Structure 1
Amino acid sequence: MTNSTTVVEFRLLGFHSLPGWQTLLFIVFLVIYILTITGNTVIILVVRLEPRLHSPMYSFLQNLSFLEIFYTSTIMPKMLSNLLVERKAITFAGCMAQLYCFVFLGATECFLLAVMAYDRYLAICYPLHYTVAMSDAMCMGLVALAWLGGFTHSAVQMGLLLQLPFCGPNVLDNFYCDVPQVIKLACTDTHVVELQMVFNGGVLLVVVFIILLISYIIILVKIRTHVTDGKHKALSTCGTQIAVVCLIFIPSIFIYARPFKKFILDKVVSVIYTVITPMLNPMIYTPRNAEMKNAIRRLISRMLFSGKKLKT
């Protein structure tokens, strides 16, 4: 950061256009946050405790749930506290830390979804070679690559952002620190940096999204024309993953793959992919997945049976 960086905090306007709804919004978002943490924690515990779910697909799902917990936790606690106070602010260092974690976890999640699509492609299109191709070492390596990709992406984004001077306006019309709003507060011409940000973030999102759609189209065609055993299960699994991909990528592309100008729907779209989507993921994956539902029933039965034995 340069010596001209004099801003020590940013004011977050949040949901200032709804002054009489702050308490209600706090209750609604708190319930959503609790459901998000609970649902994703249940998935992590079920996959860890149920031996039948010790497979690459559920290992990736466990990592996705882990990411969702920390992804939404970079935003929600500060947002909830600001809904209860008159002066809504975040320190400059806190804003940069929130930005880094948000970009890092969000990018890692996108790369992990690509890994999950590749896993389904191998499982459905090359079932005889799947066990060898998707070994434990390969599974761990792909997860590590997803995390490394997220780290690299966030490092580039923050490197571009932190070279800018912030010496004047400090009001963000949002409920958290996000790249498009923060970069507009820099007291210098940001057109070149904006183009770099869009290319690094937005174009990457579009390319990965198109690759994912093409891969899922190939998988669906393969299922309908060649797969006979377990066709319904394969379609259900791919359907849930496509739903999650669309929920994450479409709002993100709307925000990051265009010039950083304010649109009326920006805040609504931000709520979708930072608050709503992490809550929906467990609801999308679990009810449509028979193996997950059976595993949860077995764990509950085990707990109840253990409790009865202890009493006797």
Structure 2
Amino acid sequence: FFISPFQTFWANHSTEDRFLLLGFSDWPSLQPVLFALVLLCYLLTLSGNSALVLLAARDPRLHTPMYYLLSHLALVDVGFTTSVVPPLLAALRGRALWLPRGGCLTQLGTSLALGSTECVLLAAMALDRAAAVCRPLRYAALAAPRLCRALAGASWLGGLANSSAQTALLATRPLCKPHRLDHFICELPALLKLACGGGARATESQMFAARVVILLVPSTVILASYGAVARAICGMRSSGGRRKAVGTCGSHLTAVCLFYGSAIYTYLQPTARYNQGRGKFVSLFYTVVTPALNPLIYTLRNREVKGAARRLLGSLGRGEARQ
């Protein structure tokens, strides 16, 4: 899933069909600050999401549908960020980043696949939360392990299918030279600005339709799920029950707003209106900052995860004491 070091070239001239990623070179004074921010977020993403996966796998009390899906989300976030950050950090060191066409399409396909998978996973998690709040007595039957595995598998397959379709469509289009991308990654809106030749508008329409499906269908599921949750909460007589329901859904709803807000801005606007300068910072937010925030969002107010962390640290401490 990740860009091979052999696909990244540092040079000033070549005869290959390559792309120059300008990154944040037009803000040279900002690059050291961005380098520190990106590196910090990347380390938080790796450590926080890896810890979530470890806790969900080792603690029996977290063997529930919610944490099963959250583990998949953590894996997606690690892969998503890793497909972007290493070349970004290198570019922020001040060198020009050249990618061959194959490497650029590889990065595009990887980030699209993982980003699309996250879209569907967040919708699956919304369904799980709606079942837990609206049908608590039937929750165990509704959220059976087989169904959870099917939802996770459908998320990965849906992300891969969307990425394959859009990358294949783009690969057939000629891109006008010079291949200078005013971006830090090979992102779809920036690449579409280079499309030229006959049929470019038809291809863009097909790709836009695919983006509408992968973004609006899951977001519709999320809105419907939380509409049902809101009705259930309004019908509760106990204030304690309402607080518990809001706490159950609050973390996920925060993650949804952070991810979908920036993704919809990036992908659901016409290419002609896409502002590349603003788009770089929006992309930086949802590819680097949001994956670092997700573990914090899901753990800061989560007693179950905190308890699992304490039990794991306690067992490790007892193991060291015996030795």
Normalising by the residue count of structure 2, what TM-score does the alignment of the two structures yield? 0.90
Equivalent of 2:235, from 221, 225, 243?
Answer: 225
Equivalent of 1:260, from 256, 271, 283?
Answer: 271
* Structure 1 runs (4+) greater than 4 angstroms displaced: 227-230
SS at match of 1:89: strand
SS at match of 2:66: helix
Q: Is the 8 A contact 1:7 1:166 kept in 2?
A: no
Q: Give the superposition deviation at 1:119.
A: 0.9
Q: Is the 8 A contact 2:116 2:162 kept in 1?
A: yes
Partner of 2:131: 122
Q: How many residues align?
A: 305
Determine the C-alpha separation between the residues in 1 that align with 2:259 and 2:16: 32
| Counterpart check, 1:302 vs 2:311 | no
| Counterpart check, 1:46 vs 2:55 | yes
Question: Which runs of 5 or more residues in structure 1 are unaligned?
Answer: 1-5
SS at match of 1:137: helix
Q: Give the superposition deviation at 1:110.
A: 0.5
Q: What is the aligned-residue RMSD (CA, Å)?
A: 1.7
Determine the C-alpha separation between the residues in 1 that align with 2:169 and 2:64: 39
Q: Is the 8 A contact 2:124 2:151 kept in 1?
A: yes
SS at match of 2:307: helix
Give per-residue Cα distances to partners, 1:247-295, cap 9 Å, x unaligned.
1111111111110133242111111111110011001000111111111
CA 1:306–1:230: 2 relative to 1, 3 Å: farther
Partner of 1:273: 286
Partner of 1:3: none
Q: Is the 8 A contact 2:52 2:295 kept in 1?
A: yes
Partner of 2:304: 291
Equivalent of 2:148, from 118, 126, 139?
Answer: 139
Q: Is the 8 A contact 2:81 2:291 kept in 1?
A: yes
Tell me whether 181-190 or 75-84 shows the greater mean CA deviation: 181-190
Determine the C-alpha separation between the residues in 1 that align with 2:63 and 2:307: 14
Mapping for residues 68-87 of structure 1, pairs under 5 Å: 68-87=77-96
**AA in 2 matched with 1:74:** S
Mapping for residues 1-312 of structure 1, pairs under 5 Å: 8-166=17-175, 168-189=177-198, 190-226=200-236, 228=238, 230-261=241-272, 262-263=274-275, 264-310=277-323
SS at match of 1:186: coil
Give per-residue Cα distances to partners, 1:139-193, cap 9 Å, x unaligned.
1111111111111111111121111123522000000000111122233242221
Question: Which runs of 5 or more residues in structure 2 are unaligned?
Answer: 1-14
Q: Is the 8 A contact 2:41 2:288 kept in 1?
A: yes
Q: Is the 8 A contact 2:119 2:214 kept in 1?
A: no
**AA in 2 matched with 1:282:** P
Give per-residue Cα distances to partners, 1:85-114, cap 9 Å, x unaligned.
422221211110000011101111110111
Tell me whether 296-305 or 283-292 shows the greater mean CA deviation: 296-305
Normalising by the residue count of structure 1, what TM-score does the alignment of the two structures yield? 0.93
Determine the C-alpha separation between the residues in 2 that align with 1:221 and 1:309: 53
CA 1:31–1:152: 2 relative to 1, 3 Å: same
